[in-house]
Amino acid sequence: MKKDPILENAQSRDNERLVHLRNKPSMAHALFIKFPSDIGAIRNMGRRGSNFAPEAIINVFKKLSSHTGETWSEIEMTDSELELEDFQFAQIKTTEKLTILYDGFQNVKKFIYLGGGHDHIYPTLKALNKFHKKITVLNIDAHLDTRIDDFHNSGTPFRQFANDFDGEFKLIQIGIHDFANTKSTMSDLGRAKEIVATYDDLRRLTQNFTQNRKVFERMIPFDRETLYIFSLDADALESGIMEGVSAVNHRGLPYDFVEELLNYAINNLKAKHFGIYEYNPLYDNLSQKGARSLASLIYQVIDS
């Protein structure tokens, strides 16, 4: 049978791409923890489709060129059927599975969480709290996700965790819009320490996002005893970059600002946990520019 030179060329190119470095979960340097569920977003009156985000982002990521040689793998955590049946119990079970994973996969250097709704950061924090008693979350978001609701959803995870964490918990909210958050959502978090830097605050402090580093150093100083977690809700980014979300942000953060903050978290805060939530590929355009932007951020994590 005659060989197809185009197919052979494509296969040889894969040897230079990240897809070639996929490994077993327990052997990988970086592990994607996938939450392909939009149940929490729907419970928060969001649009369906974020359950497709993990695969959409990874499919772009794995085609990028490999330079460092670090291997990666992926593992799925979500039980959507259980979430539909009993959402709160599903969060408990996810917490248990993540706790076992952290205890067993101690060789993994970087954990990358892909939602799904932002509700999935709650079981992540609960599980990490079993191993770390001093946690700081950098949440880049248009919304505080501290809603006061009678049931758990993608808008409640940080208030949930603030109500039952063990130790010290600091939540640094970056890029928030007053018009996107109710007064009750902005109410006190009790024992947790919350720092809020709105979009307008940041634009003023950084002189229109041109002097970011000084603001990062003042707002988020490094503490070696603290576990730092970088959490990005995709709707924090401006609409010119990120169309594929439930609530498109007409005046969101510039991509370069978010990328610079990510690199600060990697290099200065020594962060090992990175989450991307609420991307909805059903509302992205044909170029997949949202997925490509998010995959390029993940590439910064892998390539560091």
Statement: residue 67 has pLDDT above 80: yes
Average confidence (pLDDT) over 189-218: 97
Q: How confident is the model at residue 26 (pLDDT cuts 50, 70, 90)?
A: confident
Q: What is the mean pLDDT of the chain?
A: 95
Antiparallel, parallel or unpaired: β 110-115 and 72-76: unpaired
Residue 5 confidence (pLDDT): 72
What pLDDT, in 10s, does the model give residues 85-101? 999 999 999 999 999 99
Based on DSSP, count helices (H) and strands (E) in the chain, helices before strands. Answer: 11, 8
Q: How confident is the model at residue 278 (pLDDT cuts 50, 70, 90)?
A: very high
**Cβ-Cβ contacts under 8 Å for 124 (sequence gap 6 or more):** 33, 98, 113, 229, 273, 275
Picking from 276, 234, 252, 278, the residue whose alpha carbon sits closest to that of residue 47 is: 278
Residue 303 confidence (pLDDT): 81
Cβ 146 vs Cβ 108: under 8 Å: no
Q: How confident is the model at residue 158 (pLDDT cuts 50, 70, 90)?
A: very high
Q: How confident is the model at residue 150 (pLDDT cuts 50, 70, 90)?
A: very high
Average confidence (pLDDT) over 63-85: 94
Cβ 246 vs Cβ 47: under 8 Å: yes
| Cα separation, 299 vs 304, whole angstroms | 8
The pTM is what? 0.95
| Cα separation, 253 vs 199, whole angstroms | 7
Picking from 224, 235, 227, the residue whose alpha carbon sits closest to that of residue 274 is: 227
* Structural domain of 283: 5-302
| Cα separation, 98 vs 155, whole angstroms | 21
The two structure tokens encoding residue 119: 């509700």
| CATH of residue 95 | 3.40.800.10
Domain count for the chain, please give it.
1
Looking at the DSSP assignment, which residues form a beta bridge with residue 34? 76, 114
Average confidence (pLDDT) over 17-41: 95
Average confidence (pLDDT) over 107-124: 97
Residue 14 confidence (pLDDT): 80
Cβ 141 vs Cβ 176: under 8 Å: yes
For residue 188, the tally of other CB atoms under 10 A from its CB is 9
Statement: residue 73 has pLDDT above 90: yes
Statement: residue 113 has pLDDT above 70: yes
Statement: residue 8 has pLDDT above 90: no
Statement: residue 289 has pLDDT above 70: yes
| Cα separation, 277 vs 8, whole angstroms | 36
Statement: residue 302 has pLDDT above 70: yes
Q: How confident is the model at residue 7 (pLDDT cuts 50, 70, 90)?
A: low
Average confidence (pLDDT) over 64-69: 91
Residue 106 confidence (pLDDT): 85
Share of the chain above pLDDT 70, in %: 97
Run of H or E including 243: none
Question: 269 or 14: which carries more pLDDT confidence?
Answer: 269
Residues making up the chain, counted from first to last: 304
Average confidence (pLDDT) over 258-265: 98
| Cα separation, 275 vs 298, whole angstroms | 9
Statement: residue 6 has pLDDT above 80: no
What pLDDT, in 10s, does the model give residues 138-149? 999 999 999 999
Picking from 210, 102, 118, 109, the residue whose alpha carbon sits closest to that of residue 171 is: 118
How far from each other are the two terminal CA atoms of the chain, in whole angstroms? 44
Statement: residue 12 has pLDDT above 80: no
31 φψ region: left (φ > 0), alpha (ψ -120 to 50), beta (else): beta
